Structure 1
Amino acid sequence: MTGAISSYISLLPFLSSVFTTLVISTPIERRAEPAAKPGFNRVWYDDWGHKNGITHNWNFNLGTSYPGQVAQWGTGEIQTYTNKTENIRIVNKVLYITPKKGKDAKGKITWTSGRLESKRGSQWACANGKKMLVEASIKLGSAGEAQQKGIWPAFWMLGDVFRAQGYKGWPEVGELDIMESVNGKREAWGLLHCGVYDGQIPIRGPCNEPDGRGGSVKGIGRGLWHTYGIEIDRTTKNWKTEKVTWIINGVRRHSITGSQINNSTAWEFLTHKKMFILLNVAVGGGFPNGVEPGNALTPFSTTIDGDSVGMQVDWVGVWQQA
C-alpha cells in the first residue's frame, strides 16, 4: 500500500505525480463472477470456499511490522493486525476484513484489523510478449466519511524479492497498488512505487517517492461490489512501450508506460519480476492523514469500527495470456 516500508509517513497525494479522473463507476449491486477473459488462462484463484479457509492460499501478517523491520508497517498506521475472527473471517464465501476499536489497561483507544499476503509459492510475473491480469471483487464499507476517517483498505502487490530478502528493499522491489481508498471517500487510487527513497523531502526517484505514480477515480459507490484490476502489458517487447493499466468494472481508467518511469531497472522490478498479493485494512497513517486538511492525524473521535467501515472480498484471481 502507498508508502509501505518507508520511514516517511506524511504522503502528499495531490502532487503533480498523481492525476485524478472524475468518473461515476457503474455499480454492481450483487456479487459477480469474474468476466470471461478470452485468450487468457486463469493461473490462480480464491473464492474463499476451500475447506482450509483463509490459510489455504494466504498467510496472516500479524502485529505492527514485519519481524525486525520498520515499525507501524512503515506508513505510520496505528492498528495491530491479528488473525482473530473479529478482524478477519469468511462468511458465506466472502472474506471480511474488519477494523475494531478497543481500549488498553490505561483506557487508551486501540485498534486491530486484518492483513493477508498470498503464500510463498503464490507469486507471478508477466512473460515477455504477453499480458497478465490481476483482479478482485471488493465491497468497501458504506458508513459516512465522518465515520471512516483514518480507515484505509487496500488490494495491492509487492515484488517477491522483498520477502525473499527478509522484507527489505522497499521501494526498489516494486509495488503495484491496485486499489486503495481512504477516509470513506468515494475515490479509489491506483498507484505504483519503485526505485529509491531515502526518507527525505523532496520526492525521490523515478516513482516520485513516497507519493508514487498513478492516479485516482472519483465516484466509486460504497456498499456496492466493484471489480478492481491491473493489467501488465508486455506485448510490445520493448520496456519503454510496455504498460500498466488500472481497470474498474472492466473499464480502463489510467495507464503508465515504461517511458514515463524512464528507468529500466525500476520498470523491470515493477513488471518483469514476480509479485505477491496483499489484502488489508489499515487504520491511520500517512495516506489518510495526507488527504485531510492540515494533514490532521487520523482516526478521529468520530471514526467507528465494524463491518460498515471494513472491506469485503468475494474473489481474487490471476490470469496470464495464453
Structure 2
Amino acid sequence: MNKTIKYKIINKALLFISFLLITTFVISSCETDETQTVATFTELVMSDEFDTDGAPNSAIWNYNIGTGDNGWGNGELQYYTDRTENVTVQNGVLVITAKEEQFNGSNYTSARLLTKGKFQQTYGRFEARIKLPYGKGIWPAFWLLGDDSNGSEVWPQIGEIDIMEYVGNHPTKVFGTVHGPGYSGAQGVTKSYELDGDRFDTGFHIFGIEWGPDYINYYVDDVLYNQITPEDVTGEWVFNRGPFYIILNVAVGGALPGSPNAETVFPQNMLVDYVRVYKNSYN
C-alpha cells in the first residue's frame, strides 16, 4: 500500500476520535520561558485531503496568476500559473512544482493557491502535512493573510501569519512569523525551529498554529516551539479581527532566499498531504 495512503487511513480514524474527545496540546517541549496559553479544539471545519486526482478542489482553492507587483512584493522571480505542470493532485497529495522555464517573460514558473472568498476564519487550529523542496532560491510557505476584499486596508495593516516558511538551502530549519503595522518585512516577529539529525525535504512534517485572542502558538509536529502575543510586537496587534484566508505557494528567488544558483536542481516539488482547520473554544 502507498505509504501516504496508509497514513491517511490511520489519520482519518484519528480524526473521528477527535470529534469525540476534547484535545489539548502538550506544552512541555516549548522552549519559551513564559506560561503558554493553550486552547482546546473539538470540531474540524475545513479539510482538504487531496484524495481526487487532477485540479485542486475549486470549492476551496483560487489561484494568484502572474508576477504581482515587484514579484509579489518580495522581488520573486517566478510566474505563478494554474497549469497542471505547476499544480495538480496526484496519488493523494497536492503537488506544487517550481520549474525553470521561459514563460511570459519570466525564467521560472510555480503556483500559489489561496482560499480567499471560499474559506476564511478567525482563530482556531490551522495545520498542513507537507514535504518541502530544497535548493538555493527555493522559498515555500504555508500562511494566512487578513481579508482585504473591501479595499479599505492593505498589507501590513490586514495582518499576516506565516505558519511555515523555509529557504531551501537550509533544509533543517523552518520559521514562523507575524507581520503587522510597525513590524512587517524584515521587522516581522519570528522564531525558527530546527530538526535534529533530519531534513524537511526528506519526509512529511505537520506545521500548525493554534490561534486565539491575544496569542498565536506555533507547532512543528507535536512540538510547541513559540508563542507570540501583543507584548511581543512593536505596533498594533491586528490578529483579534478577521477573517484570514490560507495561502500555499512555492516562490523562486526573492528578498529572503536570494536567487537560485548553479547547484539548484529543477523542478522542485512541495507535496501537501492535507490541510485541516479546526474551531477552538473561541470560535
CA distance in 1, matches of 2:7, 2:203: 9
Which of 201, 217, 221 is the aligned partner of 2:193?
A: 217
Equivalent runs, 1:51-130 vs 2, <5 Å: 53-54=55-56, 55-65=58-68, 70-103=69-102, 110-126=107-123
Cα deviation for residue 221 of structure 1 reads 3.3
Q: Which amino acid aligns with 1:112?
A: T
CA distance in 2, matches of 1:87, 1:226: 22
Are 2:174 and 1:188 aligned? yes
| Alpha carbons of structure 1 residues 51 and 225: separation in structure 2 relative to 1, 3 Å | closer
CA distance in 2, matches of 1:103, 1:41: 45
Aligned to 1:300: 261
Cα deviation for residue 183 of structure 1 reads 2.5
Q: Which amino acid aligns with 2:271?
A: Q
Aligned to 1:246: 218
3-state SS, counterpart of residue 259 of structure 1: helix
Cα deviation for residue 250 of structure 1 reads 1.8
User: Considering only aligned residues, what root-mean-square deviation do their CA atoms show, in Å?
Assistant: 2.4
Instruction: Report which structure shows greater RCO (CA 8 Å, sep ≥6).
Output: 1
Gaps of 5+ in 1: 1-27, 127-131, 196-204, 235-241, 290-297
CA distance in 1, matches of 2:164, 2:128: 10
Aligned to 2:246: 277
Q: Which amino acid aligns with 1:62?
A: I
Aligned to 1:134: 126
| Alpha carbons of structure 1 residues 223 and 124: separation in structure 2 relative to 1, 3 Å | same
Q: What do residues 86-140 of structure 1 show as CA deviations (whole Å, max 9, x unaligned)?
A: 11111012000010112479xx9810001100141310012xxxxx110001011
Gaps of 5+ in 2: 23-40
CA distance in 2, matches of 1:158, 1:258: 18
Q: Which amino acid aligns with 2:262?
A: S
Are 2:157 and 1:152 aligned? no
CA distance in 2, matches of 1:229, 1:174: 17
CA distance in 1, matches of 2:263, 2:102: 16
Q: What do residues 197-251 of structure 1 show as CA deviations (whole Å, max 9, x unaligned)?
A: xxxxxxxx2x2543310201112432211000011133xxxxxxx2111101021
Cα deviation for residue 270 of structure 1 reads 2.0
CA distance in 2, matches of 1:226, 1:154: 13
Contact 1:87 1:112 in 2 (8 A): yes
Cα deviation for residue 285 of structure 1 reads 0.2
Contact 2:127 2:277 in 1 (8 A): yes
CA distance in 2, matches of 1:272, 1:45: 23
Q: Greater strand percent: which structure?
A: 2
CA distance in 2, matches of 1:81, 1:221: 24
| Alpha carbons of structure 1 residues 120 and 249: separation in structure 2 relative to 1, 3 Å | same
Are 2:194 and 1:259 aligned? no
CA distance in 2, matches of 1:211, 1:81: 26
| Alpha carbons of structure 1 residues 51 and 313: separation in structure 2 relative to 1, 3 Å | closer
| Alpha carbons of structure 1 residues 114 and 209: separation in structure 2 relative to 1, 3 Å | closer
